[in-house]
Amino acid sequence: MDERFMKEKPVLPLIVSMSLPMAVSMLVNSLYNIVDSYFVARISENAMTALSMVYPVQNLVNAVAIGFGVGVNAVIAFHLGAEERTKADIAATQGMLFAVVHGVILTAGCIVAIPFFLRMYTPSAEVISLGVRYSVIVFAFAPVVNSGITFEKIFQAVGRMNVTMISIMCGCMINIILDPVFIWGFGPVPAMGIEGAALATGIGQTLSLVIYLLVYALSPIGVRFSKGYLAPDGEMVKRLYAIGIPATLNMALASVLISSLNAILAAYSEVSILVLGIYYKLQTFLYLPANGIVQGMRPIIGYNYGAGEHKRVKQIYGIVLCMSSIIMIAGTVICLLIPDRLMGLFTHTDEAISTGAAALRIISAGFLASAVSVTSSGALEGLGKGTASLIISLCRYVIIIIPTAFLLSRFFGSAGVWSAFGITELITAVIAGIIWRHNGE
């Protein structure tokens, strides 16, 4: 496949054609997350609380997979832009090898650690039991997750966005179909409760990987795996991890943030922890489509940067920033108009709905400003400047928000935690703009 269209096609149509499949697949993925949580919430409120507490660890697994995949994506796109196909093949082969290794390590580590992790946040034996039962199954699929996401990034690097869209959508849809079947039972399938939700998730992830394998085997793409490239190449490994580690930390920082905010909110009530967990389910509807656009942008920027098209890189950044801002404005309006209905999807208690509705109204004040941070961070990753991207994420997820949330909570309780989101996004947007100006040349 000829990837030169990424530097020859007009910028706006190119971004739309590359981003639209990813935005659609991310929206479907958001729907899966919402539906999955909806079914778990119908098991019991304790089941939903357990899912909320396990979420940071799940996010860590995804962070490793996506972050390293971003490194693979950026290196492949750069070498294709520079017309260095052998190096692109080496990046793909060694990237997949290390992704599988990461998955095996994560499976063992997460299953061992999850009981201790849950005890840090709740004394409830039932919540801990539900969380462990869910985790043992869902984390067993970590090698599948890592392999599938690496394939996703490889296909994106060569411009095959439709393949990733189909793969993600098929995995999500089978998950949605299997959730009620496995949770409550149907015909010969026994009711498995929360374990059924975990198994449905794993099967959906496996289907996505199978689709990638079939397409790779049947349809040529711009890079190929080779046994001859399995021996680690020091320079290539260094490049993959130089981008992949900061990108992984970018993703993993969300887990640090959620765990830290859970610890702050635990001083007030478990309802506040539940609300935070529900918020992170809801915000996927907003940020995943925006991230879908960023995913479409990343290989284009990497390819054009490798080809020396620096003016085109700036044009791509500006258009994606506008597109992300439109999504954030829409999310703000929805959260201001119907926050109680959104919360009601996951809880039926009046206290949780009223607390959650107030939280959504406060948090949404920072949505628009976050477009600058999200776009800048993704663009810098595409340029291979992982450290600059990491600085933005550190501000957004740790340096500013955690101390701000802690201080404001001393005066305003849980409302102070919700206010910290908007304050952080505004400050980080300014920092992100400065960093992009100095690194986006």
State pLDDT tens for residues 188-215. 888 888 899 889 989 999 999 999 999 9
Domain map of the chain by residue range? 5-439
Question: What integer is the mean pLDDT of 376-394?
Answer: 88
DSSP label at residue 139 = G
Q: What was the pLDDT predicted at 91? A: 92
Q: What was the pLDDT predicted at 292? A: 81
Higher pLDDT, 124 or 369: 369
CA distance 141 to 104: 9
Q: Quick: pLDDT tens for 4-36.
A: 777 778 888 888 888 888 777 777 766 666 777
Question: What integer is the mean pLDDT of 393-413?
Answer: 92
For a pLDDT cut of 90, what percent of the chain falls above it? 35
Question: What integer is the mean pLDDT of 246-272?
Answer: 82
Instruction: Count Cβ atoms within 10 A of the Cβ of residue 220 and give its class: 0-12 exposed, 13-18 middle, 19 or more buried.
Output: exposed
Q: What was the pLDDT predicted at 432? A: 94
Asked if the model's pLDDT at residue 285 lies above 90, the reply is no
Integer distance in angstroms from the first to the last C-alpha of the chain? 29
Question: What integer is the mean pLDDT of 347-354?
Answer: 84
Q: What was the pLDDT predicted at 441? A: 56
Q: What was the pLDDT predicted at 418? A: 93
Q: Quick: pLDDT tens for 172-194.
A: 889 889 989 998 888 788 888 88
Q: Are the CB atoms for 297 and 378 separated by under 8 Å?
A: yes
Give CA separation, 345 vs 177, 242, 276, 340, in Å: 18, 41, 14, 9
Q: Which pLDDT band holds residue 3 (cuts at 50, 70, 90)?
A: low
Mean pLDDT score of the chain: 87
Higher pLDDT, 52 or 202: 202
Specify the residue for token string 């539906």. 35
Q: What was the pLDDT predicted at 300? A: 87
Alpha-carbon torsion angle 167, 286, 377, 90, nearest 10: 0
